[in-house]
Chain A
Amino acid sequence: MQPRILQIQQSVLSKNDELARGLRDRFTAAGVTTINVVSSPGSGKTLLLTKTIERLVARGYRVATLVGDLATDNDARRLAEAGAPVRQIVTGGNCHLEAHMIEEYLGDWDLKDYDFLFIENVGNLVCPSSYDLGEDFRIVILSVTEGEDKPLKYPPMFNSADLAVITKIDIAEAVEFNRDAAHASIQSVRPGMTILEVSAKTGEGVDVWVDTLIKRHEGT
């Protein structure tokens, strides 16, 4: 006897994707540029965002930030010191952010009041790659201490990003960072991706990064 078949053809993440589409429409309508920042734990997301927010605020841009953290509110407190509103998303052990969390934690923020919305994702190079948060740009961060071949170990994440930032270049020499190898492995999994190099400690490269964000904001 033939088995009975029920055709489905539906994405497993259709609920998240639908919410993300709704968020993207809201961001676009409000004119806010939304940036989802992903990396391994400790790559320098929080420090780079803190410096970025300071500079954007100093240049008159209005910024808000959501930060996903497994357990503590340390990152939220550090980010708040940069002088712009921050909300912490308590993920309760969840290893990634999902669109419904963004929607919930945006709460009563009027998106029209902001030029940039940063989302610091949970430190993890696997899980966040599948979840669209409605962002305009996904930024993947790789620090010089992580090994130049890291992109080859996490192709889906690097491939899903729009721009790569190599952080902690102030200590590149000390850790014998091989710049060409790092660029080559990023290009291998995401041909054509723009790569910036920064040090959030010394400020090197941060202006170029901030200018890139502003250009993308004006382009959207």
Chain B
Amino acid sequence: MHELSIAHSLVEVASKAALNADAGHVARVHLRLGLLAGVEKDALLFCYDIAAEGTVLEGSTLEIEELPVIVHCAACGVDTTLDTIQRFACGNCGALTGDIRQGKELSIDYLELETEDAAENIADSAERAE
């Protein structure tokens, strides 16, 4: 399973970007995941918390947008979405096609940062808990 190493790369890229932007703590990470990226959504979610530990992403939520595979058909010229990645056939005319237009994505889209209010709330509740 390589999702832990993917999760570490994800955290590295996101936390570097957050630190460069002096963004403080991150609340949510939005990821675009193509069905052909070779990464299992649930396994990645499972590994994410471990990878985020001790970084500005600790305790944040990973939001994964799964992207279906879109292929272009040379026979009829139409782009269609595959129902299954087990069969690369045009949804319009049925011809087999390997011309992939979407589905290999594994990229961080954007981060939602913790607002100061939210950070204070967390600090307050931490104090109350003590």
| Interface window among A2-10, A51-59, A198-206 | A2-10
**Size band of the A side of the interface?**
35 or more
**Size band of the B side of the interface?**
35 or more
* Contact A5-B10, Cβ < 8 Å, known A159-B36, A188-B87, A189-B88: no
Q: Does A157 make an interface contact (CB < 8 A)?
A: yes
Q: Does B67 make an interface contact (CB < 8 A)?
A: no
| Closest Cβ neighbor of A153 among chain B residues | B86
> In angstroms, how far is the closest chain B Cβ from the Cβ of A72?
21
Residues of B within 8 A of A4 (CB): 23, 112-113, 115
- Interface contact A8-B108, CB-CB below 8 Å: yes
Q: Does A94 make an interface contact (CB < 8 A)?
A: yes
Residues of B within 8 A of A16 (CB): 9
Interface centre among B12, B23, B86, B113, by most A CB within 10 Å? B86
* Supplied contacts A11-B106, A191-B97, 16 more A-B pairs, CB within 8 Å: A6-B21, A6-B112, A8-B14, A8-B109, A8-B110, A9-B107, A9-B109, A10-B13, A11-B108, A12-B108, A15-B9, A96-B2, A155-B85, A160-B36, A189-B87, A192-B98
Residues of B within 8 A of A (CB): 1-2, 5-6, 9-10, 12-14, 17-18, 21, 23, 27-28, 31, 36-39, 85-89, 96-98, 100, 106-113, 115, 117
Q: List 29 A-B contacts (CB under 8 A).
A: A1-B115, A3-B112, A3-B113, A5-B110, A6-B18, A6-B111, A8-B13, A8-B14, A8-B110, A10-B17, A11-B107, A12-B10, A12-B108, A13-B106, A94-B5, A130-B37, A130-B39, A155-B86, A156-B85, A159-B36, A160-B38, A188-B96, A189-B85, A189-B86, A189-B88, A190-B88, A190-B98, A191-B98, A192-B98
